[in-house]
Amino acid sequence: MLVHRRNFLRACGGTGLALAAGRFASAAAKTNRQIIDVHMHSYPALAEMKRHNVIRGIVSGGNGDRLQAALKWHDNDPARFIPGASIRGSEDTPLPDLAVLRKGFSAGQFRVLGEVTAQYAGTTLSDPKYDPYLALAEEFDIPVALHTGTMPPGMTHDECCRTARVHFGRPGLVEDALNKHPKLRLNLMHCGYPYLEDTIAILMQYPQVNADLGAIDWLLPREAFHSYLRALTSAGLAKRLMFGSDHMFWPDAIGLAIEAVESASFLSDGDKNDIFYGNAVSFYKLKV
Ligand SMILES: [Zn+2]
């Protein structure tokens, strides 16, 4: 079975959204908290961001040339959007010329290397092919954001990603990369879900690693999301988690994702401020 990726993601996100919206009607409730969304993609969401007080969004990917899409999206509201350079490294989506990224980092155009989708390319961040890119990120003190955990259902049957495998999403597989590149700051996107033990182990061992809640905060059944979040925070990791929506074609998900964190009764108000805002400011060294 071959599935067109974009159509598939549209359908997948739409289904999740419809289910989630049915269950959580209060998702659009306004919050006064300032929010940074560290996991967005280059598709319309400005109205939703304003409605929910999302003052910064790290954007990457998009249609066509992924690097250009992020830059173009940033230009819609330069004070709000931070462009990330999304790279993969598959036959379908080869790695960009290193000189292009060097220019982008040195000019301050790209402030993040990511979303890096090594898993979709059938490998991990520790693959030597990423070494020059990680070395460049270290040189410019650019944080790296890596897709971890699972993928949308059926992804390995998409023509883009026939070598993708679930197990390449294990956060433990970044360890060699972290040791080859000791100055690397790494965001484990999607919190490595469902690999809880790997996620906790890597976060505990490597203080330069954080994790974001992208997609799991609105796509997972609420109980499963809260259980995962509770396990991470009860392990003492609330200062290492960052809010993310993984917004693509479903801007309503931003409100649902916010509500999923706000409704976690086991988090203190301080934890929520850290997750929605403070941890991203520290990790991404944002000027706010
Ligand atoms: Zn991802």
Q: How many CA atoms lie within 13 A of 70 on its CB side?
A: 24
Q: Is the pLDDT of residue 29 over 80?
A: no
- The string over 17-50, giving b where at least 16 C-beta atoms fall within 10 Å of a residue's C-beta and e elsewhere, is beebbeebeebbeebebebbbbbbbbbebeebbe
**Ligand 1 centroid distance, CA of 57 (Å):** 15
Per-residue pLDDT reduced to its tens digit, 217-245: 999 999 999 999 999 999 999 999 999 99
- Residue pair 217/191 in contact by the 8 Å Cβ criterion: no
| pLDDT mean across residues, the chain | 91
Tally of CB atoms within 10 A around 286? 16
**Ligand 1 centroid distance, CA of 253 (Å):** 15
Q: How far is CA 76 from CA 46, 110, 247, in A?
A: 9, 15, 16
**Ligand 1 centroid distance, CA of 262 (Å):** 22
Q: What is the mean pLDDT of residues 156-167?
A: 97
pLDDT band (50, 70, 90) for residue 246: very high
Model pLDDT, residue 133: 98
**Ligand 1 centroid distance, CA of 204 (Å):** 22
**Ligand 1 centroid distance, CA of 146 (Å):** 7
Angle, CA 115 vertex, CA 266 and CA 157 arms, to 5°: 100
Model pLDDT, residue 203: 98
| Residues lying with their CB under 5 A of ligand 1, a single-atom ion | 147, 189
Per-residue pLDDT reduced to its tens digit, 135-154: 999 999 999 999 999 999 99
**Ligand 1 centroid distance, CA of 6 (Å):** 14
Angstrom distance (rounded) from CA 108 to CA 218: 32
Q: How far is CA 52 from CA 36, 37, 49, 144, 176, in A?
A: 10, 11, 5, 26, 39
Angstrom distance (rounded) from CA 83 to CA 40: 10
**Ligand 1 centroid distance, CA of 38 (Å):** 11
Enclosing domain of residue 251: 5-283
Q: Is residue 268 part of a domain?
A: yes
Q: Is residue 288 part of a domain?
A: no
Looking at the structure of the chain, the number of domains it has is: 1
**Ligand 1 centroid distance, CA of 236 (Å):** 24
Q: What is the mean pLDDT of residues 256-284?
A: 98
Model pLDDT, residue 26: 45
**Ligand 1 centroid distance, CA of 165 (Å):** 14
Answering whether pTM is above 0.85, one says: yes
Per-residue pLDDT reduced to its tens digit, 15-24: 455 445 544 4
**Ligand 1 centroid distance, CA of 64 (Å):** 17
**Ligand 1 centroid distance, CA of 107 (Å):** 26
- Residue pair 60/117 in contact by the 8 Å Cβ criterion: no
For every residue of 111-128, DSSP letters joined together read -EEEEE-GGGGTS-TTSG
* Local structure of 59: helix, strand or coil: strand
**Ligand 1 centroid distance, CA of 190 (Å):** 6
Q: Is residue 127 part of a domain?
A: yes
Q: What is the CATH number of the domain that holds 165?
A: 3.20.20.140
Model pLDDT, residue 1: 32
- Residue pair 153/161 in contact by the 8 Å Cβ criterion: no
Q: Is residue 92 part of a domain?
A: yes
Q: Is residue 220 part of a domain?
A: yes
**Ligand 1 centroid distance, CA of 209 (Å):** 16
**Ligand 1 centroid distance, CA of 15 (Å):** 18
**Ligand 1 centroid distance, CA of 10 (Å):** 14
